[in-house]
Amino acid sequence: MWRAPVTRLPSHVFRLPASPRCAGTTLRTHPTPVRYPRRGLGQLTQAAALKPSSPKGPRASSAPSHPSKATLDSDDLPIVSLDGRKVAIGWNAETWSRFHNIWLRDHCRCSECFHAVTKQRLFDTFEIPADIQPLDVKAIPEGLQVTWPASTPHISLYPWSWLQTCSYDPPFPHLRPESESKTHQIIWGSKIQQAPPTVTYEEVMESGDFGLYKWLQNIDRFGFSFVNNVPVTTEATEELATRIGFIRETQYGKFWDFTSNMAKGDTAYTDLALSAHTDNTYFTDPAGLQMFHMLSHTEGSGGASLLVDGFYAASILRDLHPESYELLTRIPVPAHAVGEEGCLYRSSPPLGYPVLSVDRSSGALYQVRWNNDDRSVLGHVGGDELEKLYEAMRIWNRLLKISDLEYWVQLTPGTVVIMNNHRVLHGRSAFTGRRRMCGAYIGIDEYTSKLAVLEEKFSSRTSTPSEGQRSVWHPKF
């Protein structure tokens, strides 16, 4: 049985082994702090600075760390030079970035080129000559200053830290904001039941939003969170959901209040057991968050809830069954929801989406789509690949049922569970009696937007300026 080496974290949570990249989690390498060009390097004359730098100029080897302040000392500025159709910036003796001239002109964010409030581009990118050349490039304490040819020469200024965050030749991943959350992702197994991520209703509802931030950080890191002490009403549960964003309405309604009465044409509205699955595999954009609050269960038993970390299961599949992992990241699987007379939802495009969606550039897993009950006819997989696909699904299904991965919990009135439906699978055991459940979906974009806004508010990296308007140099757009 594959087990990630347990590190110094509590026994029920651990980070993936220090392999370069695992499903959904890229461990951050903390760059050794790098000094800016020493005085000697910073003293290039203006003319020298404009000379094309040596094409074999040193490439990035030690990634720079963000400058500790917005402006740099005049005698310690990066070297800047023209390099054909690019501008080269020497952060230190061996680390350079190169930005295409057209990229720099396109990304000018002065008030003429970029709307200071709406943060939308104001000029026509395609008016920029493909071979545009600066009249001048200069390193000044505030950043890289570039003068562009125009009837009245146009001056652009790019802050040093923004250039480092956006550097693409080479990229500095550890400076990208998305590296933060990926690094924070914590995968878990059944031992999470020792200390599941939990916040209180009072924390989440308090007006300062820090409790709400704590809740969303839980979801960002673990893929789910409980909320305790929630009033046992649909109204309080709905109000809790809308603290994150507007509810996603579907054919099941907006805020659901359901039981096993087949009110809707889906087995969720029965007392049957449901194996681990994600919802909405038939939607182009499956709901991002799913919230459940069990309001009552009388005259019966069972109905325990199941949570499985799909990113954990996928990392095991990747490491132990790479061929099956590859098939599940490549072969689309169609799905449908047609139980309601007035509905005939089927995947669009008709072939559907892979069970495991992987970012083709980084290789990081970003979504699990799995509901074997809602899967449609596999009519597009030919040859021996079909049997390999069934074998891959069999292995995947077996992984989801390993006791070390299953977190069974009996929900009780007053405790809400919310999960990231793109990562955490859920299910339930069969039950008897009358079981009343309520909840809602929230779109993935509403969730990630609210988390980003709260990060702006509470984290040091991207604080909103005192005047309340976010900077045009915000690292996230």
Ligand X SMILES: C[N+](C)(C)CCCC[C@H](N)C(=O)O
Ligand Y SMILES: O=C(O)CCC(=O)C(=O)O
Q: Is 188 exposed, middle or buried (0-12, 13-18, 19+ CB in 10 A)?
A: buried
Residues 122-151 as b/e (b if ≥16 CB within 10 A, e otherwise) read eeeeeebeeeeebeebbbeeebbbbebeee
Is residue 278 part of the contact set for ligand Y (CB under 6 A)? no
Q: x-or-dash pattern for ligand Y, window 432-471, by CB under 6 A?
A: -----x----------------------------------
Is residue 268 part of the contact set for ligand Y (CB under 6 A)? yes
374 binds, among ligand Y, ligand X, none (CB under 5 to 8 A by kind): ligand X
By CB under 6 A, name the one of 93, 132, 268, 351 that touches ligand X. 268
The H or E element containing residue 144 is strand 143-148
Is residue 256 part of the contact set for ligand X (CB under 6 A)? yes
Nearer to ligand X, 83 or 279 (CB): 279
Nearer to ligand X, 227 or 440 (CB): 440
CA distance 175 to 167: 9
CA distance 424 to 309: 5
Q: Helices 385-400 and 322-330 meet at what angle, rounded to 10? A: 110
Is residue 167 part of the contact set for ligand Y (CB under 6 A)? no
Span from 59-67, 223-231, 340-348, 425-433 in contact with ligand Y (CB under 6 A): 425-433
Span from 90-98, 179-187, 386-394, 423-431 in contact with ligand Y (CB under 6 A): 423-431
Is residue 165 part of the contact set for ligand X (CB under 6 A)? no
Q: x-or-dash pattern for ligand Y, window 323-342, by CB under 6 A?
A: --------------------
Q: x-or-dash pattern for ligand X, window 274-293, by CB under 6 A?
A: ---x-xx-------------
371 binds, among ligand Y, ligand X, none (CB under 5 to 8 A by kind): ligand X
Q: Are 34 and 216 in contact (CB under 8 A)?
A: no
Is residue 287 part of the contact set for ligand Y (CB under 6 A)? no
What is the full DSSP assignment across 49-61? HHSPPPTTPPPPS
Position with the least CB separation from ligand Y: 268
Nearer to ligand Y, 97 or 421 (CB): 421
Which residue is listed with tokens 């002065």? 110
By CB under 6 A, name the one of 374, 406, 446, 455 that touches ligand X. 374
Which residues have CB under 8 Å from 151's CB, separation 6+?
Answer: none
In the complex, minimum distance from the CB of residue 424 to ligand X, in angstroms, rounded to a whole number = 13
Q: x-or-dash pattern for ligand X, window 201-240, by CB under 6 A?
A: ----------------------------------------
Is residue 345 part of the contact set for ligand X (CB under 6 A)? no
CA distance 163 to 18: 29
Span from 117-125, 158-166, 359-367, 421-429 in contact with ligand Y (CB under 6 A): 421-429
In the complex, minimum distance from the CB of residue 205 to ligand Y, in angstroms, rounded to a whole number = 24
For residue 67, count other CB atoms closer than 10 A to its CB: 17
Site for ligand X in 354-373 (CB under 6 A): 371
By CB under 6 A, name the one of 258, 311, 345, 396 that touches ligand X. 258
Best CA proximity match to 352, nearest among 392, 318, 381:
381
Nearer to ligand X, 161 or 278 (CB): 278
Largest CA distance in the chain: 86
Span from 83-91, 99-107, 251-259, 457-465 in contact with ligand X (CB under 6 A): 251-259
The pair of three-digit structure tokens given for residue 320, joined into one six-digit string = 């132990």
In the complex, minimum distance from the CB of residue 67 to ligand Y, in angstroms, rounded to a whole number = 48
Is residue 431 part of the contact set for ligand X (CB under 6 A)? no
Is residue 214 part of the contact set for ligand Y (CB under 6 A)? no
Q: Are 197 and 186 in contact (CB under 8 A)?
A: no
Q: Are 296 and 411 in contact (CB under 8 A)?
A: no
Is residue 252 part of the contact set for ligand X (CB under 6 A)? yes
What is the full DSSP assignment across 320-386? H-HHHHHHHHHS-B-BEE--STT--EE-SSTT-B-SEEE-TTT--EEEE---TTSB----S--TTHH
CA distance 256 to 249: 10
Is residue 305 part of the contact set for ligand Y (CB under 6 A)? yes
406 binds, among ligand X, ligand Y, none (CB under 5 to 8 A by kind): none
428 binds, among ligand Y, ligand X, none (CB under 5 to 8 A by kind): ligand Y
Q: Are 57 and 83 in contact (CB under 8 A)?
A: yes
Is residue 426 part of the contact set for ligand Y (CB under 6 A)? yes
Residues 70-108 as b/e (b if ≥16 CB within 10 A, e otherwise) read eebeeebbbbbbbbeebbbbbbbbebbbbbbbbbbbebb
Q: How many helices and strands in the chain, by DSSP H and E?
A: 12, 23
Is residue 428 part of the contact set for ligand Y (CB under 6 A)? yes
User: Which residues does residue 224 pair with via DSSP β-bridges, in sequence order?
Assistant: 419
Q: Which residues of this chain interact with ligand Y, rule CB under 6 A?
A: 268, 274, 279, 292, 305, 426-428, 437
Q: Applying CB under 6 A, which residues contact ligand X?
A: 252, 256, 258, 266, 268, 277, 279-280, 371, 374
